[in-house]
C-alpha cells in the first residue's frame, strides 16, 4: 500500500534530486521549487540554495559549506556556540556570515534563493539600502553579483567591509598582520587604533586591520556577556576569524568561485547616495517599527569607534516619537520616503523585496506589512506576493515574517 505514495520532493523534482539538510519549512519548499523553475540544471548545481543533489550531482552550496570545516573553526568555542553554528551549517553559519553575530540578520540561504528566483545574475547590481551586516552583499558576491550596501550605522559599515572583503583576500597578508595577537591587543586597548583608520583612509592594509578591529569589537561584546576577560577571549575570537577565512578561501579556490564586487556606503535610505535607475534588484529589511534600538545594541562598538549616537539617532528609522501612535506615525513617514528612494534608484521592471514582521502587541495591533504594501502601492510599486516565513525559536509575540515582493513598473 505504502509503495503507491511518493515523497513530496520526489513528486516535485524526481528521485535524483535531494534538498539540503534542514530544509524543513513550507516556505523553503516554495523557494526550492521556484529555484528549480528559474534556473537551468547547471545553474542549479552552481548557485542554488536549497538543493544538495541535482541529477545526482552535489551542488556548490553544499560543497562550500562542507569544505568550511566548522568543527575545526569552533574547536575553542563554547558547546552552545558550536552547536549553534553546526546547526546553521547550510543556512546561517557559512562563508563569512558568522564573523559577527549581528542581531536581526537575514538567513543567508534565503537571500541566495531570492537572488536566484529574481534572476539576478553576474553583471547585475543588487542594493540593500538598510544593509545591517551586509548579508545580501555577501550572498550576491558569492554568486559573482555586484552589490551596494547602505546603512546609517558606521559599525554596520565596518561589518560589511570585513564580511565582503574577506571573501576575496590574500590569506598570506592576513597571516602576516595577525602574527602577534598579544601586541595587537595592547595597541587596540591603549593606542586608540581607530585614529589610524581616520588618518589612513587609502592604506592598502586598512581592510586587513579592519578584520582585526572587528574581532576586537566582537570580543568586547562577548566579554560583557561572559565571565572571561577580553585578554583571554581575544586570541580565541581572532583565531576563529582567521580559520573561518582560511577554510573559506580553500573552498573558494577548489570550487573556482568568482566573487562579485562590493561597495559599502555609510549613508541613509532617506537620501540614497545611489544613481537614479541604476539598480537591478533590491532586497532589504527595515527596522520592524521600534522593536529593536539598533544604536543602543551597538553602543559600545559605536562609542569605541568615536561616533556620537545622538546625531545618528535623528535619522534612524523607528527611533523617533513619544507613545505608540506618534512613534508609528513617524516610522511610516520615514518608510514612505525610504520606498520613494528605493523606487527612484531602481531600473524599470526591477524587483524590490522587503522582509518585515510585526510584533502586534508592541504596535497596538497595527500590522506593519499591510501598511508597507499600502505605502508602496501609493508610490506606484506593483505588489506581487507575500510569502510567509515562520519565526522559530524566539520567545516573543512575533510569529511570522512577511517576504513582500514588489516590481517597479515605470
Ligand atoms: C533589520 S536591520 C537589517 C539587518 C540586515 N538585513 C542583516 O542581514 O544584517 C535594519 C537596519 O536598518 C538600518 N537603518 C535604520 N535607519 C536607517 C536609515 N535611515 N538609513 C539606512 N539604514 C538605516 C539599521 O542600522 C539596521 O542595521
Q: Which atom of ligand 1 is nearest to the CA of 334?
A: 19
Structure confidence at residue 395 (pLDDT): 54
pLDDT tens sequence across 234-292: 999 999 999 999 999 999 999 999 999 999 999 999 999 999 999 999 999 999 988 88
Cα–Cα distance list, 145 to 157, 208, 214, 273, 355 (Å): 19, 23, 25, 20, 21
pLDDT tens sequence across 167-199: 999 999 999 888 888 888 888 887 666 666 766
CA of 287 to the centre of ligand 1 (A): 6
CA of 334 to the centre of ligand 1 (A): 13
Our mutation pick for probing the ligand 1 site, out of 110, 214, 316, 331, counting the most ligand atoms within 8 A of Cβ, is 316
Pick one of 3.40.50.150, 3.40.50.2300, 3.30.9.10, 3.55.10.10 as the CATH number of 264-408. Answer: 3.40.50.150
Closest residue by Cα to atom 18, ligand 1, is 268
Give the integer Cα–Cα distance in Å for 288 and 357.
6
What are the domain boundaries of the chain?
Answer: 169-257, 264-408
- Residues of 4-19 as b/e, b for ≥16 C-beta within 10 angstroms? eeeeebeeebeeebbb
Enter the pTM of the model: 0.95
CA of 36 to the centre of ligand 1 (A): 31
Kindly state if the Cβ of 315 falls inside 6 Å of ligand 1. Answer: yes
Kindly state if the Cβ of 92 falls inside 6 Å of ligand 1. Answer: no
Kindly state if the Cβ of 289 falls inside 6 Å of ligand 1. Answer: no
Our mutation pick for probing the ligand 1 site, out of 93, 101, 112, 131, counting the most ligand atoms within 8 A of Cβ, is 131
CA of 131 to the centre of ligand 1 (A): 5
Q: Which atom of ligand 1 is nearest to the CA of 128?
A: 6
Structure confidence at residue 56 (pLDDT): 95
Closest residue by Cα to atom 7, ligand 1, is 105
Q: Which atom of ligand 1 is nearest to the CA of 315?
A: 19
| Whether the Cβ atoms of residue 285 and residue 295 lie closer than 8 Å to each other | no
Low-confidence ranges of the chain (pLDDT < 70): 1-2, 191-196, 198-202, 393-396
CA of 224 to the centre of ligand 1 (A): 24
Amino acid at each position: 500500500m505504502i509503495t503507491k505514495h511518493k515523497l513530496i520532493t520526489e513528486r516535485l523534482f524526481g528521485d535524483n534530486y535531494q534538498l539540503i539538510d534542514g530544509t524543513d519549512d513550507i516556505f523553503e519548499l516554495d523557494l526550492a521549487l521556484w529555484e528549480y523553475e528559474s534556473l537551468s540544471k547547471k545553474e542549479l548545481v552552481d548557485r542554488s540554495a536549497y538543493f544538495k543533489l541535482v541529477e545526482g550531482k552535489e551542488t556548490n552550496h553544499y560543497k562550500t559549506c562542507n569544505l568550511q570545516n566548522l568543527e575545526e573553526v569552533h574547536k575553542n568555542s563554547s558547546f552552545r556556540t558550536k552547536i549553534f553554528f553546526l546547526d546553521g551549517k547550510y543556512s546561517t553559519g557559512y562563508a563569512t556570515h558568522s564573523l559577527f553575530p549581528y542581531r536581526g540578520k537575514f538567513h543567508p540561504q534565503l537571500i541566495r534563493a531570492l537572488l536566484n528566483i529574481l534572476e539576478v545574475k553576474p553583471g547585475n547590481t543588487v542594493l540593500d539600502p538598510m544593509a545591517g551586516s551586509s548579508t545580501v552583499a555577501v550572498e550576491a558576491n558569492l554568486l559573482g553579483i555586484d552589490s551596494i550596501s547602505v546603512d546609517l550605522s558606521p559599525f554596520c559599515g565596518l561589518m560589511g567591509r570585513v564580511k565582503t572583503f574577506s571573501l576575496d583576500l590574500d590569506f598570506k597578508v592576513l597571516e602576516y598582520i595577525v602574527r602577534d595577537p598579544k601586541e595587537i591587543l595592547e595597541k587596540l586597548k591603549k593606542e586608540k587604533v581607530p585614529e589610524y583608520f581616520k588618518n589612513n583612509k587609502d592604506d592598502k592594509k586598512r581592510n586587513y586591520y579592519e578584520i582585526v578591529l572587528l574581532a576586537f569589537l566582537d570580543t568586547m561584546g562577548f566579554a560583557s556577556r561572559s565571565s572571561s576577560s577580553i585578554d583571554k577571549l581575544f586570541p580565541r575570537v581572532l583565531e576563529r576569524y582567521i580559520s573561518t577565512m582560511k577554510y573559506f578561501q580553500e573552498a573558494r579556490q577548489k570550487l573556482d568561485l568568482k566573487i562579485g564586487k562590493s561597495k559599502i556606503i555609510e549613508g541613509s535610505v532617506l537620501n540614497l547616495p545611489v544613481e537614479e535607475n541604476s539598480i537591478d534588484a533590491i532586497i532589504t529589511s527595515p527596522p520592524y517599527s521600534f522593536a529593536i534600538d539598533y544604536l543602543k545594541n551597538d553602543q559600545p562598538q559605536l562609542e569605541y569607534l568615536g561616533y556620537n549616537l545622538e546625531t545618528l539617532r535623528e535619522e534612524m528609522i523607528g527611533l523617533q516619537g513619544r507613545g505608540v501612535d506618534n512613534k508609528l506615525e513617524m516610522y511610516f513617514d520615514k518608510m514612505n520616503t525610504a520606498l520613494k528612494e528605493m523606487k527612484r534608484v531602481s531600473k524599470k521592471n526591477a524587483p524590490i523585496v522587503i522582509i518585515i514582521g510585526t510584533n502586534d502587541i508592541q504596535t497596538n495591533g497595527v500590522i506593519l506589512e499591510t501598511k508597507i504594501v499600502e505605502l508602496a502601492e501609493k508610490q506606484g510599486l506593483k505588489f506581487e506576493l507575500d510569502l510567509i516565513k515562520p519565526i522559530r525559536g524566539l520567545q516573543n509575540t512575533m510569529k511570522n515574517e512577511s517576504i513582500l515582493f514588489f516590481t517597479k513598473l515605470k
